[in-house]
Amino acid sequence: MSIKIDDSVVVENSANNVIYGDVIKIINNRVTIQYYAPYYMPQHCGGKVVVDIEDVRKLLAV
């Protein structure tokens, strides 16, 4: 499975927060993801996170 720019992905980070977002950059097996506020926490505005490519899973269309 390859991760590409503009893929929709999910990441579970070390704090066990699940982040859904879109891939905006990939450099040396590090993936930058633009994510958005979850609907149940609208006070959070989202942001960007950089993670190891091994922690990223592609969301599959159903």
37-55: per-residue pLDDT in tens?
A: 766 766 777 789 899 998 8
pLDDT, one tens digit per residue, over 5-41 is: 999 998 876 666 778 899 999 999 999 999 887 667 6
- Does residue 22 form part of some domain? yes
HEC profile for 16-59? CCEEEEEEEEEECCEEEEEECCCCCCCCCCCEEEEEEHHHEEEC
pLDDT at 58: 86
Q: Whole domain around residue 49: which residue ranges?
A: 8-58
Contact assessment for residue 62 and residue 47, using Cβ atoms and an 8 Å cutoff: no
Does residue 20 sit within a domain? yes
In a domain, 3, yes or no: no
In-domain check, residue 1: no
pLDDT value, residue 13: 64
Name the token pair of 49: 């996170």
Which candidate, 19, 44, 42, 45, places its Cα nearest to that of 32?
A: 19
